Structure 1
Amino acid sequence: MILVALTSLFFTLIHSSFQYNETVYSRVKRIVGGETPNYPPFDDPVVYVRFSERSARIQGTREFPHYVFKGIKYAHPPIGPDRFLRPKQKILEGDIKAITFAPPCIQPVPGKNYIIGSEDCLALNIFTPDLPTGTEGLPVVVWIHGGGFRYGSASQYGVRHLVGQRLLVVTIQYRLGSLGFLSSGSKHLPGNAALWDMALAVQWVRNYIGFFGGNPHRIIVMGHDTGASSALLLSLNKVAKGMPDAVVAMSGTAVSRWSIDNTPTDTSHQIAMQNGCPTSNDVTMIKCLQKVPVQAIIKLDSQIEFQQLQSRGFVSGLNGRLGTAPVVEGVNDGRSLPGLIQQDPVDSLYKQDNPKIPLLTGVTKDETTKAVKGHFKSDVLKQLNSVPDFLNKLVKEGLYSSPVISKLSGKLDKLGNVSQSWITDGSKVLTELSDSYLPSNFQNYLKTQNNIVEKLNKVSEATADALFNVPAFLTAQLWKDAPTYLYSFEHAGNMARGWNFLQGLPLIGNSSNPEEDRNLVGHGDELAYLFDPQDMEGKPIRVSKPSKDDVKVRAFFTKMIADFARHGEFSVDNKKVPKFNAGDNNFVQIRAKPSLADKFKFCEMALWTNIAERLKSSYCQFLGAVPGVLPNLNVNKPLSIFGVG
């Protein structure tokens, strides 16, 4: 049964079988006073669908100014013997009332000792300004929420501002924590169940969205944080090749540090042992875990998160992942079924193996500052006061060891292109030069006055560069033969903050000192300019009244997303934004008065990724990169302070 369903999925991933019977299943036109109305009555949000020889009547609601269809199940419940496994496609049939949101996927409540949600949560919500009118349909944005793979729901995001730009928006749910990502590294439990949830949801959209007024051939996958890395992982996979038509990745990419779990067996064995399940045989372990009460698995996920924070320190919290995550499955999962992630995404981008579709990615101005000065402040201060030369140790031992940085460091030439010599010989590392070169430049990068405020600022800058700016920069540079755009969200206004959307993530900081936060633009703060914050059940959260500048920023940001979704490009001040250029590092600054800029973190990115020629330029002299230091250096080869190529 599973194989049949998966086979059907694989075929539909490549060839959409969208069907539409204009005579039988289109909306019945109503005659009022002898004239045909252009739109259906507000009180009649009913859609008729037909797919795979089965029909359904779906009733939604009218929530002015758009139509909403809530809680539509796209997969069968992943419970019992289907726990941890790939989802089974659900074909719509019969009468369906889509008038209430589905429960969120089961998860802990941050700061509370209880759990909310359900395992039976694989559902999506559809928001459209129009019901079908016979045109080609509206661009479709599929939203993947963030939350560190552990928190969040599709119902938290009010999408009226995007729908107001004449977009059809679909928000999806997927399994969280170990239920979505547990892996033993074997064919019996290959992992990535939640990514398969997302892939199936997007394919569901392609199959059905035309009946709701959307264009099944213009689907943009968009996400934030771990949702952003997931969106890019979906676009890089081979099974669903051609599924998204464009990608928007906000504050996260496929090469973010949290995007791949390289030691999944450790977590699966820990969860099994603490639930009394054997670990010597994967089949026996999985069958045992499928019978464990779901609350026990969620609580153990929380224990693992707490233990990792205690043992690994604040950098692990800033990483955005403290538990299970996507894994590299390989070409197949051991059962002749293709894996969704067939190779490390760093290698995929390094080999320029990206799909040729438009990409928009970006960051906020102060990604980690609120967490460094809030949630983790005491931990950071303790380290600064007790560990000699802490800033250098933080960079060398905590940040520069990132697989992204260590794999790609030095593999870019002075324009940021992938060195062709490294495509054929990527394993050699000039470790003998590392101690004499990179530390000297990081010494200048990390130089501060001897006061705690500047040191906290430097920790914020270094962690934001390593964990957010470098992945965004590298992704923009390595996404070849397709339009690519980079932005920096820099508006600090009165709108809702990241904690309204991302509760549970240590990265978002806290709201205990709003005066200190007033001029900061932290992780998740840009979300309020696209979405209205709602609770897990979809109820509005009271927020501050937007200022005039907030309204301007929201208008620009939503239009930017809409134009990108519709055309794969957008404008600033009626000027078409040029594609990202590795020589200029050009980007869009999103402010009350948005502008085009260049040299995005120009020297800092060259330092972190060791673009040696750029470091030697006069523009980057403040980093102390002296041209004569390395007279025989081939700038296309890496200098990793950890000796990792």
Structure 2
Amino acid sequence: MYRFSVELLVLLAVSSVFSIEVDTDLGRIRGANLTSRLGVPFHAFRGIRYAEPPLGNLRFVNPQPIKSWAPSTFDATEDGPMCPQPWDNMTDVSEDCLRLNVYTKDLKARRPVIVFIHPGGFYVFSGQSKYLAGPEHFMDRDCVLVALNYRLGSLGFLATGSKDAPGNAGMKDQVLALRWIQKHIHRFGGDPGSVTLVGYSAGSISVALHMVSPMSRGLFHRGICMSASPYGPVQYQNNDLRLAHRQAKLLNCSQESVTEMVECMRRKPYLDYVSTYNGMFEFGWNPTLNWKIVVEEDFGQERYLIESPFKTAKRGDFYKVPLITGITEFEFLSGAFFDLRNESIVSKYNQNWEDFAPIALILERNSTQTRTATRVLREKYMPESVDKLEYPKSLKGMGELYSDALIGVAYNRFLRLMAPHTPIYTYLFRYKGRYSFLKNPDNQEAMGPVHHDELLYLFHVGLVSPLFKREDPENFMIERLTRMWTEFAQKGDPHNKNDEYLKTLNWPLYNSQNQAYLEIGTNFTAKTGGFFQERYHIWDELYPLSSYS
């Protein structure tokens, strides 16, 4: 009996070292104790539910806040599941995915909160720590980090223009997570009055849209928009019935009545959505931005967007917060690389460029303007490939065309629309490291910096790289990026003359006259005159910003 008691006491003592508990208004939450990249201990609370699971009648509609689990203790010692998507290990996927992770070093502090909204085209990835959003880099800084999941693909963005599926469910998930943070983050040592949204790609589009959504107003105080914006060449619509019908057909649901179609889609297992992902794209993984944000009609629901973001931005009637925004040097070179090495896709382009290019470039379909634009774009970007696209001859031009169509043009418009109203720091990321989201499969050489590559220095991206050590060549970039982002989260300004890594930083604010930006490479250099302006001018002539409303 005595021996058993001693063993039990030892077990309890050991478990207390590895876990930590926090009391919230929802109930008690148990987290884990982990260690940062440089050996600093921190607390991790992962997989916390912030919304009721979006099952049954909650599919396709606004999320509902999570109910209290008291007197139970919520086990948040491990990552929760990712939202439904194709994945190697499907046991890691569930529709009960509206979860968030909180990382903190001091439960009694009042530190700035950084909220990460993950990339993935609104159809893949998650806020989990093990693949894309490892907290070890940021936990060497003085901040509280939150990473969240939101519904993806048709389960998150089905938009029939009816009350059955008004659209934007995944964006409303994000809003509900931000409301959760306002109510509960002080329990984790975070300051609800100092919340900075950091979004990449689809996450960056999300951050910029939270500035114009009436639902998001007041829920955050600064924004960092990396490699995307919601101001691309296509006008906003109030539904995407074309995509909804495509999904219904793949699920064997009747399309005669929208109400019956959506009811049928509500009953289908989430794994049926996962197994039909490939069929939702038209060729390869095109269009990259397949699921769209829509302007919602009023069916009595709280609406995420009530008018076109172009209209709101031009009027200057949006929630104004200080911003950092930027892109990488080669952005969507990866898309061009793999498409040009795919004989079927190259054949489609060479035989019928004017029909297939608008799909990949995300332009309006079947319009005279688009047919003219696709011809002009091919002539301007790929003069050497006007007659025939082929790898590797067409790679540079195609890479630049994909990059501008999907990222660069919208980024440039975001700058121009926001700069008159709110302070913006902008950057061009040119640092080529040992690791990249694009590696040449022939020789394993990193081909960056491409889309997502800055994330390697802000987070531990387990999908792509190891956890870097202090002596690794990536260390200086991790130190500088995480410090700039945390300084900005603290006070809306990335500078700190007292910080050894930032004391020489000179990052001027952007304005339309000098178009100042920071070139981030081995050196951090302030420059003026913008970048890629000749390329963006081609788009301005084809799709003038003045024509959007």
Q: Which has the larger radius of gyration?
A: 1
**Contact 2:426-2:518 within 8 A present in 1 as well:** yes
- What corresponds to 1:62 in structure 2? 33
- What corresponds to 1:566 in structure 2? 490
- What corresponds to 1:304 in structure 2? 280
SS of the residue 1:236 aligns to: coil
Matches within 5 A, 1:218-229: 218-229=194-205
**Contact 2:339-2:346 within 8 A present in 1 as well:** no
Is 1:468 aligned to 2:444, yes or no?
Answer: no
Equivalent-residue separation in structure 2 for 1:386 and 1:203 (angstroms): 50
Q: Following TM superposition, by how much is the alpha carbon of 1:273 offset from its aligned partner in structure 2, in angstroms?
A: 3.8
Is 1:492 aligned to 2:421, yes or no?
Answer: no
**Contact 1:257-1:402 within 8 A present in 2 as well:** yes
The 3 A distance-change label for structure 1 pair 301 and 185 is farther
Partner AA of 1:147 in structure 2: G
Is 1:104 aligned to 2:82, yes or no?
Answer: yes
Is 1:579 aligned to 2:548, yes or no?
Answer: no
SS of the residue 1:45 aligns to: strand
Is 1:601 aligned to 2:540, yes or no?
Answer: no
Q: Following TM superposition, by how much is the alpha carbon of 1:130 offset from its aligned partner in structure 2, in angstroms?
A: 1.3
**Contact 1:491-1:592 within 8 A present in 2 as well:** yes
The 3 A distance-change label for structure 1 pair 195 and 386 is closer
- What corresponds to 1:526 in structure 2? 454
SS of the residue 1:532 aligns to: coil
The 3 A distance-change label for structure 1 pair 285 and 132 is same
Partner AA of 2:407 in structure 1: F
The 3 A distance-change label for structure 1 pair 368 and 380 is farther
Q: Following TM superposition, by how much is the alpha carbon of 1:267 offset from its aligned partner in structure 2, in angstroms?
A: 2.1
The 3 A distance-change label for structure 1 pair 105 and 491 is same
Is 1:334 aligned to 2:299, yes or no?
Answer: yes
Q: Following TM superposition, by how much is the alpha carbon of 1:321 offset from its aligned partner in structure 2, in angstroms?
A: 2.0
Partner AA of 1:359 in structure 2: L
Equivalent-residue separation in structure 1 for 2:522 and 2:251 (angstroms): 53
Deviates more, 1:219-228 or 1:563-572: 563-572
Q: Following TM superposition, by how much is the alpha carbon of 1:545 offset from its aligned partner in structure 2, in angstroms?
A: 7.0
Equivalent-residue separation in structure 2 for 1:275 and 1:120 (angstroms): 21
- What corresponds to 1:202 in structure 2? 178
Q: Following TM superposition, by how much is the alpha carbon of 1:66 offset from its aligned partner in structure 2, in angstroms?
A: 0.9
Q: Following TM superposition, by how much is the alpha carbon of 1:382 offset from its aligned partner in structure 2, in angstroms?
A: 3.4
Matches within 5 A, 1:222-621: 222-256=198-232, 264-305=240-281, 308-309=282-283, 317=286, 320-322=288-290, 324-330=291-297, 333-335=298-300, 337-379=301-343, 382=346, 386=350, 402=363, 446-448=382-384, 453-479=392-418, 480-495=420-435, 497-498=436-437, 511-514=440-443, 517-534=445-462, 542=466, 549-571=473-495, 574-610=504-540
The 3 A distance-change label for structure 1 pair 290 and 223 is same
- Provide Cα deviations, 1:199-245, integer angstroms capped at 9, x if missing partner: 00011011100011000011111111111111222221012212121
Equivalent-residue separation in structure 2 for 1:296 and 1:384 (angstroms): 29
**Contact 1:251-1:364 within 8 A present in 2 as well:** yes
Unaligned runs of at least 5 residues, structure 2: 1-15, 36-40, 496-501
Count of aligned pairs between the two proteins: 509
The 3 A distance-change label for structure 1 pair 564 and 80 is same
SS of the residue 1:160 aligns to: coil
Equivalent-residue separation in structure 2 for 1:71 and 1:186 (angstroms): 32
Q: Following TM superposition, by how much is the alpha carbon of 1:386 offset from its aligned partner in structure 2, in angstroms?
A: 4.1
SS of the residue 2:327 aligns to: strand
**Contact 2:61-2:164 within 8 A present in 1 as well:** no
Equivalent-residue separation in structure 2 for 1:471 and 1:47 (angstroms): 42
TM-score (norm 2): 0.82
- What corresponds to 2:22 in structure 1? 47
Q: Provide the alpha-carbon RMSD of the alignment.
A: 3.5
Equivalent-residue separation in structure 1 for 2:526 and 2:331 (angstroms): 21
Is 1:169 aligned to 2:145, yes or no?
Answer: yes
TM-score (norm 1): 0.71
- Provide Cα deviations, 1:27-65, integer angstroms capped at 9, x if missing partner: xxxxxxxxxxxxxx9656221223xxxx52222111022
Equivalent-residue separation in structure 2 for 1:396 and 1:148 (angstroms): 19
**Contact 1:372-1:380 within 8 A present in 2 as well:** no
Equivalent-residue separation in structure 2 for 1:569 and 1:230 (angstroms): 22
Partner AA of 2:531 in structure 1: K
Q: Following TM superposition, by how much is the alpha carbon of 1:260 offset from its aligned partner in structure 2, in angstroms?
A: 6.0
**Contact 1:230-1:259 within 8 A present in 2 as well:** no
Identity of matched residues, %: 25
Equivalent-residue separation in structure 1 for 2:379 and 2:85 (angstroms): 43
SS of the residue 2:283 aligns to: helix
Partner AA of 1:491 in structure 2: Y
**Contact 1:168-1:214 within 8 A present in 2 as well:** yes
Equivalent-residue separation in structure 1 for 2:237 and 2:87 (angstroms): 24
Equivalent-residue separation in structure 2 for 1:178 and 1:400 (angstroms): 21
Partner AA of 1:302 in structure 2: N
The 3 A distance-change label for structure 1 pair 282 and 250 is same
Equivalent-residue separation in structure 1 for 2:356 and 2:123 (angstroms): 27
**Contact 1:494-1:546 within 8 A present in 2 as well:** no
Q: Following TM superposition, by how much is the alpha carbon of 1:465 offset from its aligned partner in structure 2, in angstroms?
A: 2.3
Partner AA of 1:472 in structure 2: Y
Partner AA of 2:481 in structure 1: F
SS of the residue 1:71 aligns to: strand
Equivalent-residue separation in structure 2 for 1:552 and 1:384 (angstroms): 44
The 3 A distance-change label for structure 1 pair 148 and 263 is same
Q: Following TM superposition, by how much is the alpha carbon of 1:327 offset from its aligned partner in structure 2, in angstroms?
A: 1.7
Q: Following TM superposition, by how much is the alpha carbon of 1:71 offset from its aligned partner in structure 2, in angstroms?
A: 1.1
**Contact 1:42-1:62 within 8 A present in 2 as well:** yes
Partner AA of 1:528 in structure 2: L
Equivalent-residue separation in structure 1 for 2:147 and 2:462 (angstroms): 13
Q: Following TM superposition, by how much is the alpha carbon of 1:289 offset from its aligned partner in structure 2, in angstroms?
A: 1.8
Partner AA of 2:504 in structure 1: N
Partner AA of 1:47 in structure 2: V
- What corresponds to 1:29 in structure 2? none
The 3 A distance-change label for structure 1 pair 600 and 565 is same
SS of the residue 2:78 aligns to: coil
Equivalent-residue separation in structure 2 for 1:192 and 1:483 (angstroms): 28
